[in-house]
Structure 1
Amino acid sequence: TTVRHFWSLTVLLCCLAAHSSGQKDTDFYTTVSTLSGLIHVEKQVKVDLLSYVERLRVVQDSILNFVQDRQPYDDLTSPSALSDYLKHPVHAFQLIKRMTAGLKTVEAQIKRMRKFDPLIKIREMRKQRLLPWEEDFQGLATSLVTLQDTYALDLHELTKGHLHTEIPRNRTIPGRLPLNARDCLNISQAAMRQAMYDLAVKWAEQAVAKGADEEPPSIPKQELDRHHEAVVKKYNELLGTRGEAAEPGQTHEVPEQDRAKQSAESKAQLTQEVTPDDQEDQSYKRLCRGKLLRSPKMESQLRCRYYKGQDGFFALQPIKLEEMNLKPYIIVMHDVLQDKDIKELMAFAEPRVRKTLPYLFICHIHTFYSAWLNEDEAPIAVRMNSYLRALLGMGTSDTDEEAEAYQLANYGTGGQFLPHHDFLQDSFHSYNSSADYYLQYGTGDRVATLMIYLTDVEEGGATVFPTLGLRLTPKKVNLFFISLRNSDGARILHWVVFTVCIKVTFFCLAVANKWFLSYSNVFRLPCSTDRNASLAPLV
């Protein structure tokens, strides 16, 4: 049955794997799944707060009754009259009773309120990561800035709550909630933290413009003006001290106050020499926006064909194979696995991802949630390993150290995997050499990467290879397999950089990754000079 109804898988052959190491950060990255849970938490917080307000009303009434209960001595103004009043034993009894038993009733009600204080519960929920932290808010503001920068989102539409881009197609994803002046200020501050001073100035200008029309204002005008002045000053200082040497995105060609006056001719004179890193960054963004960077000549060398598997397992129903690149060899396979298997995989993944949520972090390379699924934990992992072994001809068992377990990654708004290498050699810094690691563990480095898209996304989420000018659009149950097997493998291994999941602008992207290890697979998929051989172009 697995042969007949399949997923749509994209297979990429290239010797890179997701390098998930990096310096830890304490930020907690919110995905769509956690945001959905946060809505339920918000409802509970509302119930708790309303219950607290009702109890407060009871205490308030009790306090008001005590305060507003007028006593005969309230009208006595002279000390002698007050003294005569207190000489009466009943009057003295009533006063003492009022300030003991009567006041104790109010005290008891106030003390009981401490037991129902929602602040204690809210703090505990934050401690358990059921509620977001300040870092989450700042992280999402940063995501908006990076999304705007990467996809060239229209700033004015963004302040209205809409996502609008003209690249790769003129399209608007409407939103229901606009941004106010304080929101724009927060995003400007996020841009400042990312050293994106040109965007920081634009968001500060939007904050000032929004604040002028707000009634009541969401933030004092003085605070807006101070921030705007500070960001413009920083912007111009950077230009004055670093000029054309500033990093791309940090400044425009001229100071902020003179931008409108700058002509196209003078801008051209200020064009800086493009460095390889800058070129890669620009290629990354252009690919994210859907632009084509490869020539027709390069595309003309690619072809499509039917694939029967390494041992002919798919002879009765061949797999549709589409070549995307030759060096390294990257292909897309369509209609490969069943959709029900995705549901089963996601069912095993969700509790494991949720279990790790309080302990996850953003590193400088990726921003997503992840969990690991071993073949001894789920039948679906065993079935997928067996199926992929027949499909690819490579060892897939994590128990036998032929490959790593499945990494289940969940990307949210602005979730990304920055350009990186997949091999692990550079990450073995704790050993004298990578050979020490290989010899000690007997597995070898990663020689292949497998990626499976488990969900669709409306915008974004593509896999791009900046140095190849290649963009692969995500599709549910697409699988990417990457393997380098030619003599140039070492060179390509170290220099080909790709991005797993650009920025997810809308909806959530879930991916299953698997990495194959060299020692058990080095002879399973040998090099071939036959272009017609399975998974082997003429390289």
Structure 2
Amino acid sequence: MCLLRVYIYEYRYVCISFFLYSKLGEYQREHEDAAADMSAYVSNPINAYLLTKRLTTDWRQVENLMAHDVGVEFLNNITNYRHILKFPSDEDLNGAAVALMRLQDTYKLDTSSVARGMLNGIQYSTAMSSDDCFELGRQSYVNHDYYHTVLWMSEAMTRLQEEPQNQTQTFTRADILEYLAFSTYKQGNVERALTMTNELLELTPDHERARGNKVFYEKEIAELQAERKVKGDDGSESTPVSDLPIAKGDPSDYTFSERKAYEMLCRGELKLTPADLRPLRCRYVNNNVPFLRLAPLKLEEAFLDPYIVIYYDVMHDKEIELVKKLARPRFRRATVQNAVTGELETANYRISKSAWIRTEEHKIIENIVQRTEDMTGLDMSVAEELQVVNYGIGGHYEPHFDFARRDEIRAFQGLNTGNRIATVLFYMSDVEQGGATVFTNLRIALSPKKGSAAFWYNLHRSGEGDFRTRHAACPVLTGSKWVSNKWIHERQQEFRRPCGLEPDHGEFAI
């Protein structure tokens, strides 16, 4: 008996050592790839997800194995320094998975291609394993996202069948079938859900939930065939059972048609016609500013009504680096203003980090603000502080207005400077893929170009909001997007942009 125990212990020790050795090789390969170009590595959404997974679910698995006397001392040292190392959390892992799903939907990325490390036909990283795909499917399930659960669990199944047998695998074919069957049912395909449940029962005949679900599916199919409908909510006793965690996401706040236009603009599938482009011009302007007579600005018209222009070479590299340096220590999750309470809060439709910089903090910031006044002809004393925003992997801002609507009576209540009359958006980086600013009503997209700035009025000359300026920031597919913006308010602009006989009379005299 003692000899048998020794053999069992040695076998377990060999299995654990083999697993840890394979993990070590995997981490070393990824470390070499990352060390070659760290910023490029983490700006890849696949790498960002995989790195987060390695330090959450994968690391817990390593911890559990090392706890069997393989590396207890080392493990204790790592545990003591976790707060210093700032390991990502499960929430971070879910965020990385959601970001990848968002990119997949917006840019119509093929699941198998993403799993191979390809984005829009470009190879960015190594291929995912079946375990990586399984975790993406599980995170989608947790978010009540059955569509992506089916996509990624199916990919996990394909890769599991192609990979060599691994005794340390954390999931089985039966686990995948359980997720697939229930998610397929939630998508409305009861027949397919029953087929998968039967496959699951062939593998694990004593699976209690699967047996209960099988009865339900068969009953519902029979009723459908008899042209009767099953009545009952997800919580009723007749509904298939799943004890896996689910969290309901926030509902979308814009229509399907606008979402479709938003995503098509992000992909570059909607563009202005030649007839729309014909009247647009590029030119040098001085805006009647004495200094600009010596150094005129480069202006490109992006749209005429409402008037949207792009200025080029209006923020220099030295200025950009200073703005980034000042902003980084202050970065916080970007917020939006609640239309009812007026309070600032985070929202899933705006994913980015932001910071605010006062004009008087540095001479370069003063120069940027003065240049903004020269570009717009508006008084900067009633403008908000310079807001700096960084959109990382999957970072986006869904369609919104910069101005406050009539029913938002608490908006800007502490400023006493009126509504936001105009927006100036500085682009402080190029973006390899994605990250465009799109106007969903106008069907135009502005691609980030380092050093340029977009300018538009949010209000008509009458002071009414111009709803045509509804815009969005497309998700960043690869790279990192840095912008800064000045929101200019309407008080003290009476003589700089006076009311006219028509809503926007004289708008082109900029």
TM class, shorter-chain normalised?
0.5 to 0.7
Match of 2:171 in 1: 219
Q: How does 1:86-97 map to 2 (within 5 A)?
A: none
Tell me if structure 2 keeps the 8 A contact 1:371–1:407: yes
Residue 161, structure 1, aligned to residue 135, structure 2: no
Match of 1:322 among 300, 305, 315: 300
- Aligned pairs (5 A) from 1:75-474: 117-122=77-82, 124-125=83-84, 130-164=86-120, 172-192=121-141, 196-215=145-164, 216=166, 217=169, 219-236=171-188, 277-353=255-331, 356=332, 363-397=347-381, 402-425=382-405, 428=408, 431=410, 441-474=415-448
Deviation at 1:195, TM superposition (A): 5.5
The unaligned stretches of length 5 or more in structure 2 are 1-40, 193-253, 336-343
Residue of 495, 498, 512 corresponding to 2:471: 498
Give the conservation status (yes or no) of the 8 Å contact 1:211–1:218. Answer: no
Matched-pair contact (CA < 8 Å) for 2:461–2:500: no
Query: Kindly tell me: are residues 210 and 403 of structure 1, through their superposed partners in 2, closer, same or farther at Cα, counting changes over 3 Å?
Result: same
- Helix, strand or coil at the partner of 1:315: helix
Are the counterparts in 2 of residues 529 and 538 from structure 1 also a CA contact under 8 Å? no
Higher mean Cα deviation, 467-476 or 377-386?
377-386
Output one character per residue of 1:147-174: Cα deviation in whole Å (capped at 9) or x when no partner.
011001122211111112xxxxxxx221
Aligned AA (2:275): K
CA shift for structure 1 position 330: 0.3
Say which one has the larger Rg: 1
**Residue type of the partner of 2:476?**
V
Partners of 1:421 and 1:411 lie apart in 2 by 18
Deviations 1:273-302 (A, max 9, x none): xxx822111111110001234333222232
The 1:379/1:223 distance shift into structure 2, 3 A limit, reads same
> How far apart are 1:441 and its partner, in Å?
4.0
CA distance in 1, matches of 2:508, 2:334: 45
Deviation, 1:304, is 2.1
Q: Hey, what's the Cα distance between the residues in 2 that align with 1:421 and 1:409?
A: 17
Amino acid at match of 2:131: R
SS of aligned partner of 1:297: helix
- Provide the C-alpha distance between the structure 2 equivalents of 1:370 and 1:229, rounded to a whole number of angstroms: 42
Q: TM-score, normalised by structure 2?
A: 0.66
Q: Tell me if the contact between 1:304 and 1:321 (Cα under 8 Å) persists in the aligned partners.
A: yes
Give the alignment's TM-score, normalised by structure 1.
0.63
1:474 Cα offset (Å): 0.7
Task: Look up the SS of the partner of 2:390 in the other structure.
Answer: strand
Determine the C-alpha separation between the residues in 2 that align with 1:299 and 1:488.
28
8 A contact 2:422–2:459 mirrored in 1: no
Residues 242-286 of structure 1: per-residue CA shift (max 9 Å, x gap): xxxxxxxxxxxxxxxxxxxxxxxxxxxxxxxxxx82211111111
Query: Which deviations, in whole Å up to 9, do the C-alpha atoms of 1:95-153 show, x marking residues without a partner?
Result: xxxxxxxxxxxxxxx9xx6995432332x347xxx221101111111111110110011
Structure 2 contact 439–471 (Cα < 8 Å) conserved: yes
Q: Distance in 2 between matches of 1:457 and 1:118?
A: 36
Q: 1:115 to 1:467 in 2, by over 3 A?
A: closer
Task: Report the secondary structure of 1:328's partner residue.
Answer: coil
AA paired with 2:91?
E
> Separation in 2 of the partners of 1:214 and 1:420?
45
Using the alignment, how far apart are the partners of 2:457 and 2:333 within structure 1? 32
- Cα deviation for residue 361 of structure 1 reads 8.6
Shift, 1:528, TM fit:
7.1
Alignment correspondent of 1:7: none
SS in 1 for 2:371: helix
Which amino acid letter does the alignment assign opposite residue 214 of structure 1?
A: E
SS in 1 for 2:367: helix
Q: Counterparts of 1:8-19 in structure 2 under 5 Å?
A: none
Measured after TM superposition, the shift of residue 193 of structure 1 is 5.3
Q: Relative contact order, CA 8 A, sep 6+: which one is greater?
A: 1
Residues 339/163 of structure 1: CA separation in 2 closer, same or farther (3 Å cut): same
- 1 CA distance for matches of 2:499 and 2:281? 20
Q: Deviations over 1:48-89 (max 9, x none)?
A: x99xx9xx78xx9xxxxxxxxxxxxxxxxxxxxxxxxxxxxx
Aligned amino acid, residue 81 of structure 2? K
Question: Unaligned 5+ residue runs, structure 1?
Answer: 1-29, 61-109, 165-171, 241-275
Q: Secondary structure in 2 aligned to 1:418? A: strand
Amino acid at match of 2:159: K
Amino acid aligned to 1:506 = T
Aligned CA distance change for structure 1 residues 226 and 457 (closer, same or farther; 3 Å): same
Distance 2:465 2:190 in 1: 38
2:202 matched to which residue of 1?
none
- 1:180 touches 1:218 (CA, 8 Å); kept in 2? no
Aligned counterparts of 1:238 and 1:361: Cα–Cα separation in 2? 40
Work out the CA distance in 1 between the residues paired with 2:393 and 2:75: 38
- Any conservation in 1 of the 2:281–2:301 contact (CA below 8 Å)? yes
Q: Would the alpha carbon gap of residues 479 and 461 (structure 1) be closer, same or farther in structure 2, given more than 3 Å must change?
A: same
Indicate conservation of the 8 Å contact 1:320/1:334, yes or no: yes
Q: 1:154 to 1:483 in 2, by over 3 A?
A: same
User: Hey, what's the Cα distance between the residues in 1 that align with 2:370 and 2:91?
Assistant: 42
Pick the aligned partner of 1:477 from 448, 451, 457: 451
SS at 1:376's partner residue?
Answer: helix
